[in-house]
Structure 1
Amino acid sequence: MCYRLSVIGYLLSVLGYVLSVICYRLSVICFGLCVIGYLLWVVGYLLCVIGYRLWVVGYLLSVVGYRLSVLGYVLSVVGYLLSVVGFIII
């Protein structure tokens, strides 16, 4: 009877060891996945910041472009009026 109990205890200890090794390996894998997830989050955050800054630059360039187009339109009207005045004088 004691022999059987010792064999059962030995098998249970081997099973516990195998399970502890499996849990350790899984914890290493989970830690690696956690680090990879954190790095992906950092990369996504940086891309978000870069995208926002590029959007701001694009918006400012569109405002400048709009003002330049208005200035070009005003200059073309002034040029047209000057040509009309020049035609009347000639």
Structure 2
Amino acid sequence: MREIHHFIDGAALAGASGRFGDVFDPNTGEIQARVQLATAGELDLAVQAAVRAQGAWGATNPQRRARVMFEFKRLVELHMDALANLLSS
């Protein structure tokens, strides 16, 4: 069965709690994956990474940020079908 790990500071991180939550397929009601539940320490790591990223993003000039966001929009539109399939699963 597929396991969904944490993604912190640009990298996958295996959780240490040993606890999981089930992810259900909305079409069938069957369990399709397990997601790791975070420890307080893992949550703190994620928050610290977000704070660091926000500082760097905030220091980026607005024109560069706009270019990044337009590229993100382009990629979302390019992969719309795959994203819709992923979201519905």
Larger Rg: 1
Q: Which has more helix, going by share of residues? A: 1
TM-score range with shorter-chain normalisation? under 0.3
* TM-score, normalization by structure 1: 0.27
With CA pairs under 8 Å and 6+ residues apart, which has the higher RCO, 1 or 2?
2
* TM-score, normalization by structure 2: 0.27
